[in-house]
């Protein structure tokens, strides 16, 4: 069976990879940062702006789009690409992660997850079959398995049965997938901070490998210490099939991203850059900058003096600080634009460094400066 999403490695430097993912809506150069468009919009960003910052793929979310405006409505209107006027690749998360984040509002059973909507308390049920059906209706290029993402510090006793259920759910997802020719399915490896349990999860999922266009590493950056995340990445990523893309879910901190790339990760996403932006925190080569601070009141410099994004070429810290302080919409737009540009550019620079076989040096130089140790 020919899979609808394929990957080709172009260059390697250590374990870091530069490659190209091919999807029904075009190619993606990796490593890549994927902006999150939970509700069929990357918050504050128009399609034109997304293209302008070099986004090659964006995310959508099953849970949110099922609740509002509903996946069947989106299907009637021609699918998610048409609905949001985005004709490049889209990846949809399965809803598992969002449903599990509801805490007391949800109940996990073998058949699926019962939950109350965070919007109006109405009762719903998402099963592996339902999640895939919603993602089939949305028509994303990459569909994620419906998995359980246990909290970062879960015990082995909790995680073992959870992995086994996630594997049983994976089989049901594979069977339910109606659009195997046009939507690639990605597996999600769980297992918390335990190497052997990560291996168990990968071994079980690998039995269905012919159905998967890629492998995600889930259940990281969910409360565990950073060192544990790095240790697990270093252990498990290289064991995933070499010829398929590897996706680290929910990571969008520059230093973590470079360390993940060093372990062999190709794709990442996170709400962090846009969320931080809306609270007035921006990324710069010298670390995070809190633009609301008094010290930027009369600062005519751009957010990041070395950044060549549209915001940094046109607006001062003093102006953006003012906009954020008085809660003007333009302030949120400018900081969101800059933060997304920063992460997308970081991955493009990493790709170039991998191709030129100087990734380690590039990473170390970036981190030293970002963490203020230069
Ligand atoms: N987003 C961040 N982590 C996860 C995860 O473990 N599973 C899913 N489905 N989405 C995520």
Catalytic residue among 13, 71, 269, 304: 269
pLDDT of residue 360: 98
93 is catalytic: yes
pLDDT of residue 188: 98
Atom of ligand 1 nearest to the CA of 188: 7
pLDDT of residue 1: 76
Return d(Cα 73, Cα 61) in angstroms, integer: 15
- Confidence (pTM): 0.98
Residue of 85, 94, 87, 88 whose CA lies nearest to 63: 94
pLDDT of residue 243: 98
Rounded to the nearest angstrom, the distance between the alpha carbon of 365 and the centre of ligand 1 is 30
The three-class DSSP label of residue 232 is: helix
Atom of ligand 1 nearest to the CA of 144: 9
pLDDT of residue 102: 85
Catalytic residue among 93, 141, 256, 266: 93
Rounded to the nearest angstrom, the distance between the alpha carbon of 32 and the centre of ligand 1 is 17
pLDDT digit of tens for each residue in the chain (374 aa)?
799 999 999 999 999 999 999 999 999 999 999 999 999 999 999 999 999 999 999 999 999 999 999 999 999 999 999 999 999 999 999 998 998 888 878 999 999 999 999 999 999 999 999 999 999 999 999 999 999 999 999 999 999 999 999 999 999 999 999 999 999 999 999 999 999 999 999 999 999 999 999 999 999 999 999 999 999 999 999 999 999 999 999 999 999 999 999 999 999 999 999 999 999 999 999 999 999 999 999 999 999 999 999 999 999 999 999 999 999 999 999 999 999 999 999 999 999 999 999 999 999 999 999 999 76
Return d(Cα 223, Cα 153) in angstroms, integer: 7
Residue of 12, 31, 1, 19 whose CA lies nearest to 269: 31
pLDDT of residue 100: 84
| 360 DSSP 8-state letter | H
Return d(Cα 373, Cα 235) in angstroms, integer: 28
E-assigned strands of 212-308?
212-217, 246-248, 267-270, 281-284, 287-290
120 is catalytic: no
- Binding-site entries: 93-97, 147, 190, 219, 307, 309, 312, 338
Instruction: Name residues contacting ligand 1 (CB within 6 A).
Output: 93-94, 96-97, 144, 147, 149, 188, 218-219, 249-250
The three-class DSSP label of residue 263 is: helix
Ligand 1, pocket-test mutation among 61, 249, 268, 271, most atoms within 8 A of CB:
249
Do residues 100 and 148 make contact, with C-beta atoms less than 8 angstroms apart? Answer: yes
ipTM of the modeled complex: 0.99
Rounded to the nearest angstrom, the distance between the alpha carbon of 152 and the centre of ligand 1 is 12
- Binding-site entries for substrate: 93-97, 147, 190, 219
CB atoms near residue 129 (< 10 Å): 17
The answer to whether the peptide bond before residue 147 is cis (omega within 30 degrees of 0) is no
Atom of ligand 1 nearest to the CA of 250: 2
Return d(Cα 140, Cα 137) in angstroms, integer: 8
Ligand 1, pocket-test mutation among 60, 92, 96, most atoms within 8 A of CB:
96
pLDDT of residue 104: 79
Do residues 294 and 280 make contact, with C-beta atoms less than 8 angstroms apart? Answer: no
Rounded to the nearest angstrom, the distance between the alpha carbon of 24 and the centre of ligand 1 is 23
pLDDT of residue 373: 79
Do residues 88 and 26 make contact, with C-beta atoms less than 8 angstroms apart? Answer: yes
């Amino acid at each position: 069976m020919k899979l609808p999403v394929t990957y080709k490695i172009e260059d390697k430097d250590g374990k870091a990879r530069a490659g190209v993912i091919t999807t029904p809506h075009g190619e993606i150069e990796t490593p890549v940062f994927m902006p999150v468009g939970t509700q069929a919009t990357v918050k504050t960003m128009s399609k034109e702006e997304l293209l302008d910052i070099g986004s090659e793929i964006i995310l959508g979310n099953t849970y949110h789009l099922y609740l509002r405006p509903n996946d069947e409505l989106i299907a009637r209107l021609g699918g998610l690409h048409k609905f949001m006027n985005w004709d490049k690749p889209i990846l949809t998360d399965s809803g598992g992660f969002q449903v599990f984040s509801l805490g007391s509002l949800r109940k996990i059973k073998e058949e699926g997850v019962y939950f109350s909507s965070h919007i109006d308390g109405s009762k719903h049920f998402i099963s592996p079959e339902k999640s895939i059906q919603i993602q089939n209706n949305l028509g994303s290029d990459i569909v994620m398995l419906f998995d359980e993402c246990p909290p970062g510090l879960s015990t082995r006793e909790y995680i073992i049965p959870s992995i086994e259920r996630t594997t049983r759910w994976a089989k049901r997802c594979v069977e339910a997938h109606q659009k195997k020719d046009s939507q690639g399915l990605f597996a999600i490896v769980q297992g918390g901070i335990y190497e052997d349990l990560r291996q168990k999860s990968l071994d079980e999922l690998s039995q269905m490998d012919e159905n998967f266009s890629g492998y995600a590493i889930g259940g990281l950056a969910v409360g565990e210490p950073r060192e544990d995340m790095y240790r697990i990445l270093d252990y498990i990523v290289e064991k995933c099939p070499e010829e398929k893309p590897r996706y680290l879910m929910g990571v969008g901190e520059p230093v973590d991203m470079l360390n993940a790339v060093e372990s062999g990760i190709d794709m990442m996403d996170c709400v962090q850059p846009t969320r931080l932006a809306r609270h007035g925190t921006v990324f710069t080569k010298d670390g995070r900058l809190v633009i609301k601070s008094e010290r930027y009141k009369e600062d005519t410099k751009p957010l990041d003096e070395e950044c060549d994004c549209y915001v940094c070429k046109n607006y001062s810290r003093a102006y953006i600080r003012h906009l954020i302080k008085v809660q003007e919409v333009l302030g949120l737009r400018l900081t969101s634009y800059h933060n997304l540009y920063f992460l997308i550019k970081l991955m493009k620079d990493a790709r170039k460094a991998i191709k030129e076989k100087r990734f380690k040096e590039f990473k170390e130089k970036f981190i030293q400066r970002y963490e203020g140790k230069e």
